[in-house]
Structure 1
Amino acid sequence: MSDLAPLSLTAVRARISEETSRDLRGVDLLAAELASRLGQEPTAIEGRRAPFGRTPWREDLPASEAVLRAAGARAADAVRAGAVPVTIASDCSLAIGTLPAVAREVEGLRVLWLDAHADYDTPETETVDFLGCMSLGGACGAWETGLGTIDPRQVVHVGARAPEGDFDYAGQEQGRAELGAMLPATAPVADVLAALGDGPLYVHLDPDVLDPSVNPIDYGRPGGLGAEALLGLLRAVRAHAPVVGFELTAFHSADDEPTRARVGALLGDAIETLAGRSPN
């Protein structure tokens, strides 16, 4: 592993916009998993730990702005230092801070966004008043966050599967029109790699891209990736182009301990795979 770039690990121990404490518990569990697997304790970014529940995005964005800026700054600092930023956080709103910050440092950056939801809602299309569902749209400038933007054509989205009429369908279709590509979870790996091109990659992974049979969560959607399909895709992505950073958000850790441990171990495998430290 001597030829691998060093890792810069960050755990955002703060509520951004998620509804329950399970996602924040997931950050703590994954931080311990990272420390055990990679032999490095993540640096913590601390912030509010409450309140939980459905809170308006117009309140969550300013309440979380300092945390989002800090996470973006840490990722950008790591890239400038020749390290690979690895960030774990409680929900996808993290990307509002991280994606624009990394894109400013890496010319020709491409983003692989793995998620069952498009996360491309805007103030005009949103129906659930949730910042997490607006995260990629905000990072791509579909609405103004004040934290910078990336070109939506840099983004390849894999896994969105909102049926017509669902709460995020309008945002999904806007993303389909504006992003570089939007592919189903069942897309052949070769199609994903072709859409990404050859540039440096930043990967965003939301575990709800997994099928509910693998990751049973109340907002899961059928037709997602299986465990081996996820790891196979990540291995192919890492072999295809340099991965200059990645983030894992929204581990909605199950109350059932065996399920929580099983999914947490799979996500640990995913992190090791992207970091090039996987035994496989």
Structure 2
Amino acid sequence: MTRGDVSALTVFRGRAGDHNERGMRGARLLGEELARRTGSGSVSIGQSRPALNASWETELAAALPELRRLARRYEEVLRAGSVPVTAMNRCAVGLATLPVVARHRPDACVVWLDAHPDLNTPGTSGSGYLGGMVLAGATGMWDSGLGADLSADNIVLGGARDIDPAEQRMLDEGLVRSVPVGADLPERLRSAVAGRPVHFHLDCDVLEPGILSTDYPVPGGMTLEQLRAVSEVLAEHELVGIELGEFEGGRSAEENAAAGAPELVGAVEPLLRVLDGR
């Protein structure tokens, strides 16, 4: 699963602007499934705690210690020549990972599959939700305290459809490339990536509501079959990292069994096969 000599699988369950604890439970389930599929050990950062449901400033302050631990973990994995594979609770965790990836691999394209562009800043966000500011923070549109090394030219959005006015202006101006859901999504992503190395990030709300449990379901999403087709296309490229987030677990064994972790990991298995050399 790794190209270097450091175990690359990480499970992040710390606070990251959560509205509930289901994403923390979901990260654990995904980590277990990834470990089972790959035969890899994992490193865990953070633990499930009650959600704060507070302002973005309060959420960020609470998350920073563990996000910084994750950033150091990415530094270690990438310095070792390994490919980080991370199960995370919320997309806000990308505030810690993306700047590190960009510093080590400024040539890499971040393929961000998400129902939302996450290009808001504290000044443009109507909700103040930390997760909606990830790409804006990683590119320096606001200061998260975690780095701003990612170039907007190296972002390709896939499946975004719940878009705020300020985000839409950026897309209209071509500051960030966006590829909508559709039958031609895999081919359009191949064209947008243009042969670059790929760091892959998946928010489960990019999928059609009802396939998996997510915090922000948005109609008009992808199917698992379409996600696998996208994974097949991206597996043609050099992989720099894989992140899976916004997957929610339940409180009981029955709820967790029905949550769909095996189906989700199965849909991205083409990427895991590349890392395994199969």
Is TM more than 0.5 here? yes
SS of residue in 1 equivalent to 2:115: coil
Q: Counterpart amino acid of 1:197? A: A
Match of residue 204, structure 1, among 201, 206, 209: 201
Partner of 1:40: 40
Measured after TM superposition, the shift of residue 211 of structure 1 is: 0.5
User: What is the CA-CA distance between 1:97 and the residue it aligns to?
Assistant: 0.8
**Residue 271 (structure 1) shift:** 4.4
Q: Residue 25 of structure 2 corresponds to which residue in structure 1?
A: 25
Identity of counterpart residues, as a percentage? 34
Q: Which amino acid aligns with 1:172?
A: E
Say whether the 8 Å CA contact 2:38–2:272 is kept in structure 1. no
The answer on whether the counterparts of 2:13 and 2:28 sit within 8 Å (CA) in structure 1 is yes
Question: What do residues 180-215 of structure 1 show as CA deviations (whole Å, max 9, x unaligned)?
Answer: 411112243211111111121101101111111422
Cα distance between partner residues in 2 of 1:120 and 1:271: 25
Which residues of structure 1 form unaligned runs of 5+?
163-167
Structure 2 residue matching 1:25: 3-state secondary structure: helix
Return the offset for 1:250. Answer: 1.3
Q: What's the CA shift string for 1:78-113, capped at 9, x where partnerless?
A: 122111101111100111110110110113111000
**SS at 1:144 equivalent:** coil
Q: Which amino acid aligns with 2:67?
A: L
Cα RMSD (Å): 2.4
Tell me which moved more, 71-80 or 148-157.
Answer: 71-80
| 1:144 CA drift (Å) | 1.4
Match of 1:214 in 2: 211
Q: TM-score under structure 2 normalisation? A: 0.89
Kindly provide the amino acid, as one letter, of the partner of residue 83 in structure 2: V
Determine the structure 2 residue equivalent to 1:165: none
Q: 1:124 to 1:267 in 2, by over 3 A?
A: same
2:261 equivalent in structure 1: 264
Q: Distance in 2 between matches of 1:28 and 1:244?
A: 22
Is 2:231 aligned against 1:234?
yes
1:175 deviates by 4.2
Measured after TM superposition, the shift of residue 115 of structure 1 is 0.3
Distance, in Å, in 1 between the alignment partners of 2:145 and 2:116 is: 23
The answer to whether residue 246 in structure 2 is matched with residue 250 in structure 1 is: yes
Contact 2:22 2:250 in 1 (8 A): yes
Which residue of 2 is the match for residue 140 of structure 1? 139
Q: Find the residue that maps to 1:50 and give its secondary structure.
A: coil
The residue identity in structure 2 corresponding to 1:40 is S
Between the two proteins, the alignment pairs up a number of residues equal to 271
Map of 1:159 onto structure 2: 159
Q: Evaluate the alpha carbon distance shift between residue 264 and residue 201 of structure 1 in structure 2; reply closer, same or farther with a 3 A threshold.
A: same
User: How does the TM-score come out when normalised to structure 1?
Assistant: 0.88
CA distance in structure 2 between the partners assigned to 1:216 and 1:14 by the alignment: 19
1:75 partner SS: helix
Q: Structure 1 residues 51-60 or 25-34, which shifts more?
A: 51-60
Aligned: 1:101 with 2:96 = no
Alignment match of 1:273 (pick from 250, 253, 270): 270
Deviates more, 1:117-126 or 1:248-257: 248-257
CA distance in 2, matches of 1:45, 1:273: 26
Please list the CA deviations of residues 235-260 of structure 1 after superposition, one character each: whole Å capped at 9, or x if unmatched: 11111x10111111111235684685
Amino acid at match of 1:8: A
Asked if the contact 1:112–1:201 (Cα under 8 Å) also holds between the matched residues in 2, the reply is: yes
* Contact persistence 2:213–2:259 (CA under 8 A): no
Matches of 1:203 and 1:132, distance apart in 2 = 17
Contact 1:137 1:175 in 2 (8 A): no
Q: Does 1:172 align with 2:163?
A: no
What is the CA distance between 1:51 and its match in structure 2? 3.3
Cα distance in 2 between the residues matched to 1:173 and 1:182: 10
Unaligned ranges ≥5, structure 2? none
Aligned position for 2:59? 60
Matched, 1:184 2:183: no
Q: Is the contact between residue 156 and residue 179 of structure 1 (CA under 8 Å) also seen in structure 2?
A: no
